[in-house]
Amino acid sequence: MKKFNSYLTNSPLAFKLLLTILVSSSVITFFILSIQLFFEYKTDIKLIENRLGQIEKSYTDSLALSVWNFNKAQYNTQLEGILNLEDIVYAKVLTLENELVISKGIEPHSKKLTRKYILKTKDFNETVVSGKLIVVASLQRVYDDLMDRALIIMLTQGIKTFLISFIILYAFYLLITKHLYKIAEYAKNIELDSKDRLVLDRKIV
């Protein structure tokens, strides 16, 4: 092991081999990680979009009716129900003239997904527009989760890469480099009239 440690610290070949393994592994890991995170991002965004679609199916009709009837208690409760959905952080109702009827939550400045719904209801069998619903979903959780996953993957892959590099380097040393050193040492000390023979310490399979 002492010879191997000396090989690691003093051999340019060992350094180049280790560097090649680390760089190539890092590039491959980064490429795979980028693809994985991209698809996970798309999946998370799809889930948020499904919740926004759920709002349109479950809330807009009743909200349109309560706004048309000026039922403040009812549309206040309905907006609270919307904000109880995961990642939904802000909702407001506007008139057709963009006057604020009610708003709840805090609208983020960035990393958000915004949807607008036209509130339509029936009045004497006639379809009327009572206002507009604006809903904002925060993407902060999505970005935080992706960052956590990236750090975990990079840490685990880094440890794996280091261990694999060490194993490959040690195998390379045992199979090739150790014998090359012995040959070089023998050639340096050989005498023309010497009858000593070079014997390599290796197993024949």
Of the candidates 136, 93, 135, the one whose C-alpha atom is nearest the C-alpha of residue 112 is: 136
Q: Are residues 126 and 50 in the same domain?
A: yes
Q: Which domain holds residue 133?
A: 38-144
Indicate if 57 and 27 belong to the same structural domain. Answer: no
Contact in structure between 129 and 81 (CB atoms under 8 Å): no
61 and 137 share a domain?
Answer: yes
Q: Residue 196 falls within a domain, yes or no?
A: no
pLDDT of residue 30: 84
61 shares a domain with 44: yes
CA distance 44 to 149: 13
Residue 194 in any domain: the answer is no
What domain count does the chain have? 2
The answer to whether residue 149 is domain-embedded is no
Place of tokens 């926004």: 52
**182 and 138 within one domain:** no
Q: Within a domain: residue 57?
A: yes
Domain co-membership, 126 together with 181: no
SS3 111: coil
Query: Are residues 135 and 45 part of one domain?
Result: yes
Whether 202 is in a domain gets the answer no
- 204 falls within a domain: no
Tell me the pLDDT of the chain (205 aa) as tens digits: 555 555 555 556 666 767 777 788 778 888 888 898 899 999 999 999 998 988 988 999 999 999 999 999 999 999 999 999 999 999 999 998 899 999 999 999 889 999 999 999 988 888 899 999 999 999 999 999 999 988 888 888 878 877 877 777 777 666 665 555 565 555 555 554 555 554 545 554 4
* CA separation for the pair 138, 106 (Å, rounded): 10
| Nearest to 52, CA basis, from 87, 102, 92, 96 | 87
Q: Which residue has the tokens 């023979």?
A: 197
pTM of the model: 0.67
Angle between helices 140-172 and 12-58 (to 10 degrees): 160
Q: State the pairing for strand pair 88-94/112-123.
A: unpaired
The CATH number given to whatever domain includes residue 121 is: 3.30.450
- Indicate if 19 and 56 belong to the same structural domain: no
Beta-bridge partner residues of 190: none
Residue 201 lies in a domain: no
Whether 72 and 21 share a structural domain? no
d(CA 53, CA 125): 26
